[in-house]
Amino acid sequence: MKNIYNYTLKDLGDLMIGLGQKQFRANQLYSWIYQKRVKEFDEMSDVSLSFRQTLKQEFTLKLPKIIKKQVSYDGTIKLLLELEDKSVIEVVLMRYDYGNVVCVSSQVGCNMGCKFCASGLIKKQRDLTAGEMVSQVMMIQSLLDEEEESKRVSHVVIMGSGEPFDNYNNVMNFIRIINEQKGLAIGARHITVSTCGLPNKIVEFSKEGLQVNLAISLHASNDETRNKIMPINKAYPLTKLFKAINEYEKNANRRVTIEYILLKDLNDSIDNARELVKLLKGTFAYVNLIPYNEVKENPFKRSNKERVRAFYEELKRNGVNVTIRKEFGEDIDAACGQLRAKKEGVIDE
């Protein structure tokens, strides 16, 4: 059985032809699945009984099972989902004033090994399919559909567990599916891919002709510090990374967002801020400063408010476009990967 969420409109159309139908059958299916959001093929009332039978034999429309749901006082929802093969992943909904943002996982576990991150406590078990990423968005959308006023998922960030550029093709298909006008129609400018910095993939992504946002997890202002916390930096040091960022900005004609977690006494001094300013010369990057979510299993600590402020001011003073990330769901294990790591017994309750 094929997961129907796995297919772009075009690919689904091709499958329809294979089933003796017209290509545009796929439009009708997309509308039932993503706009009317039916849970069963039998709800597709303008599809003939016999073709519904065929669909049921060929495809599944089932969403993953929720094995844990946590709701924060600020409305943030975190779901632990069980996939067909019993793999467990997490997805988060954050409610900003500008819209409902879903944070999607791209892999089961992660191989990048960033020292501060809870997701990396579990090695990559496998890549997620495009359909498994789509179904994370659909799960959250189905919860929003049950709320009083009708609300929609307006933004998607691929910032959950996993390295999206280590699962490039599936992530691209995922983006095409959720961006499809006849489907969920999530605007490209409302989609963000976050990477730990794989230069070849950054360049490849710059040529996709998509208006999707790119965020780079930098987290350090020099190679020495970055080597300590992000092993990927040993393979692709800052000069290589920034060469790719420059090329991205040129090819895509878009700015990148630099994510920078402030870690106490590690990367949060005024000197670090000045180093970062230098590093960003020649780019048009925005900087997003991220308050660290402490993870019990590692030694890193969050910088205090004054330190964060001072770092922010120093960047600002030097003309860098900078914001401090708003925090959500601090009462429900907001730190990336924590919920799943608990389930797997890798970190303590």
Known catalytic residues are: 90, 336
User: In the complex, what is the shortest distance from the CB of residue 203 to ligand SAH, in angstroms, rounded to a whole number?
Assistant: 17
Return the axis-axis angle of helices 238-252 and 199-206, rounded to nearest 10°. 0
Nearer to ligand SAH, 3 or 293 (CB): 293
Residues in a beta bridge with 323: 288
**Segment lying near ligand SAH (by CB under 6 A), choices 35-43, 82-90, 201-209, 285-293:** 285-293
Q: Is residue 93 a contact residue for ligand SAH (CB under 6 A)?
A: no
Q: Is residue 196 a contact residue for ligand SAH (CB under 6 A)?
A: yes
Tell which one of 6, 194, 257, 272 touches ligand SAH (CB under 6 A).
194
**Segment lying near ligand SAH (by CB under 6 A), choices 180-188, 189-197, 241-249, 303-311:** 189-197
Q: In the chain, at which residue ranges do the beta strands (DSSP E only) sit?
A: 2-3, 59-60, 65-71, 77-82, 88-96, 99-103, 107-108, 126-127, 153-158, 191-195, 213-217, 257-262, 286-291, 321-324
User: In the complex, what is the shortest distance from the CB of residue 334 to ligand SAH, in angstroms, rounded to a whole number?
Assistant: 8
DSSP-based three-state secondary structure for 94: strand
Q: Which amino acid is at 180?
A: E
Smallest Cα–Cα separation from 195: which of 219, 179, 178, 222? 219
Is residue 337 within 8 A of residue 343, CB to CB? The reply is: no
Question: CA separation (Å) from 342 to 102, 127, 296, 330?
Answer: 21, 20, 11, 16
Find tokens 């860098």 and name the residue. Answer: 320
For residues 96 and 101, give the distance between their C-alpha atoms in angstroms, rounded to a whole number: 7
Is residue 267 within 8 A of residue 219, CB to CB? The reply is: yes
Q: Which amino acid is at 58?
A: E
Q: Is residue 260 a contact residue for ligand SAH (CB under 6 A)?
A: no
End-to-end CA distance of the chain: 37
Tell which one of 33, 156, 186, 336 touches ligand SAH (CB under 6 A).
336
Give the DSSP letter of residue 268.
Answer: -
Smallest Cα–Cα separation from 258: which of 319, 199, 320, 311? 320
Q: Is residue 107 a contact residue for ligand SAH (CB under 6 A)?
A: no
Q: Is residue 279 a contact residue for ligand SAH (CB under 6 A)?
A: no
**Segment lying near ligand SAH (by CB under 6 A), choices 115-123, 178-186, 199-207, 306-314:** 115-123
**Segment lying near ligand SAH (by CB under 6 A), choices 30-38, 47-55, 127-135, 289-297:** 289-297
Q: Is residue 295 a contact residue for ligand SAH (CB under 6 A)?
A: yes
User: In the complex, what is the shortest distance from the CB of residue 123 to ligand SAH, in angstroms, rounded to a whole number?
Assistant: 14
Smallest Cα–Cα separation from 221: which of 272, 152, 159, 284? 272
Give the DSSP letter of residue 322.
Answer: E
For residues 128 and 54, give the distance between their C-alpha atoms in angstroms, rounded to a whole number: 26
User: In the complex, what is the shortest distance from the CB of residue 75 to ligand SAH, in angstroms, rounded to a whole number?
Assistant: 20
Q: Is residue 261 a contact residue for ligand SAH (CB under 6 A)?
A: yes
Count residues near ligand SAH (CB under 6 A).
19
Q: What x-and-dash track marks residues 203-222 binding ligand SAH by CB under 6 A?
A: --------------x-----
**Segment lying near ligand SAH (by CB under 6 A), choices 20-28, 57-65, 73-81, 114-122:** 114-122
Per CB under 6 A, contacts with ligand SAH among 135-164 are 159, 163
Per CB under 6 A, contacts with ligand SAH among 54-83 are none
Q: Is residue 116 a contact residue for ligand SAH (CB under 6 A)?
A: yes
Enumerate binding residues for ligand SAH (CB under 6 A).
112, 114, 116-118, 159, 163, 194-196, 217, 259, 261, 290, 292-293, 295, 335-336
